[in-house]
Structure 1
Amino acid sequence: MNKFRFVLVFTFLVVLSACGSSGGTSGDGEVTELRYQGSVGAVTPPELAEDLGYLGKVKLKWVGNTISGPQDIQSAATGQTDFGGAFNGAVIKLVAAKAPIKAVVGYYGSDKDAYNGYYVLDGSPIKTARDLIGKKIAVNTLGAHHEAVVKEYLQRAGLTKDEIKQVELVVVPPVNTEQALRQKQIDVATLGGILRDKALTRGGIHPLFTDYELLGPFNAGTYVLRDDFIAKNPNAARAFVTGVAKAIEWSKTHPRDEVVARFKAIIAKRKRSEDTTAIGYWKSYGVSATGGLIGDRDFQTWIDWLQREGELRPGQVKVSDIYTDSFNPYANGGAQ
Structure 2
Amino acid sequence: MFGVAAAATGCGTAAGGTGAQTKTLRYQGWAGDVSLPELAADLGYLGDVKLEWVGNTISGPQDIQSAATGQVDFGGAFNGAVVKLKGAGAPIKSVIGYYGADKDAYSGFFVLEDSPVKEPRDLLGKKVGMNTLGAHHEAMLGIYLKRNGLSAEDIKKVEPIVVPPVNTEQSLRQKQIEVGVLGGILRDKALEKGGVRKLFSDFDLLGPFTAGTYVFTEKFIKDNPDTVRIFVTGVAKAIEYSRTTPREQVIERKLAIINKRGRNEDPGALKHWKSTGVAENGGKILDKELQIWIDWLTDRGEIKPGQVKLTDLYTNEFNDLAKG
User: With structure 2 as the length reference, what TM-score do the two structures score?
Assistant: 0.93
Offset at residue 202 of structure 1 (A): 2.2
Q: Is the CA contact 1:68–1:141 (under 8 Å) kept in the aligned structure 2?
A: no
Q: Which residue of 2 aligns with 1:75?
A: 66
Letter in 1 for 2:8: L
Map 1:161-240 to 2 at 5 A.
161-240=152-231
Q: Is the CA contact 1:86–1:222 (under 8 Å) kept in the aligned structure 2?
A: yes
Offset at residue 279 of structure 1 (A): 1.2
Q: Which residue of 2 aligns with 1:38?
A: 29
Offset at residue 238 of structure 1 (A): 1.0
Offset at residue 317 of structure 1 (A): 1.8
User: 1:272 aligned to 2:267?
Assistant: no
Q: Which residue of 1 aligns with 2:125?
A: 134
Letter in 2 for 1:284: S
Between 1:116-125 and 1:209-218, the stretch displaced more is 116-125
Offset at residue 199 of structure 1 (A): 2.3
* 32 and 180 in structure 1: CA distance in 2 versus 1, 3 angstrom threshold: farther
1:58-90 deviations in whole A, cap 9, x for unaligned? 222222323322222111111122111111121
Distance 2:234 2:116 in 1: 47
Distance 2:286 2:229 in 1: 18
Q: Is the CA contact 1:68–1:140 (under 8 Å) kept in the aligned structure 2?
A: no
Q: Which residue of 1 aligns with 2:306?
A: 315
Offset at residue 12 of structure 1 (A): 5.9
Map 1:26-105 to 2 at 5 A.
29-105=20-96
Letter in 1 for 2:40: A
* 298 and 46 in structure 1: CA distance in 2 versus 1, 3 angstrom threshold: same
Offset at residue 132 of structure 1 (A): 1.8
Letter in 1 for 2:31: V
Letter in 1 for 2:133: L
User: 1:10 aligned to 2:5?
Assistant: yes
* 101 and 129 in structure 1: CA distance in 2 versus 1, 3 angstrom threshold: same
User: 1:149 aligned to 2:140?
Assistant: yes
Letter in 1 for 2:61: P
Query: Secondary structure of 1:10's match?
Result: coil
Structure 1: gaps (5+ residues) = none
Q: Which residue of 2 aligns with 1:293?
A: 284
Q: Which residue of 1 aligns with 2:320?
A: 329
Distance 2:190 2:7 in 1: 43
* Cα root mean square deviation, aligned: 2.1
Q: Is the CA contact 1:103–1:222 (under 8 Å) kept in the aligned structure 2?
A: yes
1:120-179 deviations in whole A, cap 9, x for unaligned? 122222222222222222222222211111110111122221221222222233233223
Query: Secondary structure of 2:114's match?
Result: coil
Q: Is the CA contact 1:34–1:81 (under 8 Å) kept in the aligned structure 2?
A: yes
User: With structure 1 as the length reference, what TM-score do the two structures score?
Assistant: 0.90
Distance 2:227 2:272 in 1: 33
Distance 2:257 2:47 in 1: 17
Q: Is the CA contact 2:6–2:90 (under 8 Å) kept in the aligned structure 1?
A: no
Letter in 1 for 2:271: G
Query: Secondary structure of 2:200's match?
Result: strand
Q: Which residue of 2 aligns with 1:118?
A: 109
Q: Is the CA contact 2:283–2:322 (under 8 Å) kept in the aligned structure 1?
A: no
* 35 and 184 in structure 1: CA distance in 2 versus 1, 3 angstrom threshold: farther
How many percent of aligned residue pairs carry the same amino acid?
Answer: 62
Distance 1:38 1:119 in 2: 29
Offset at residue 113 of structure 1 (A): 1.1
1:238-288 deviations in whole A, cap 9, x for unaligned? 111011100000001111111111111112122222222221111100011
Distance 1:65 1:179 in 2: 27
* 85 and 288 in structure 1: CA distance in 2 versus 1, 3 angstrom threshold: same
Distance 2:176 2:47 in 1: 48
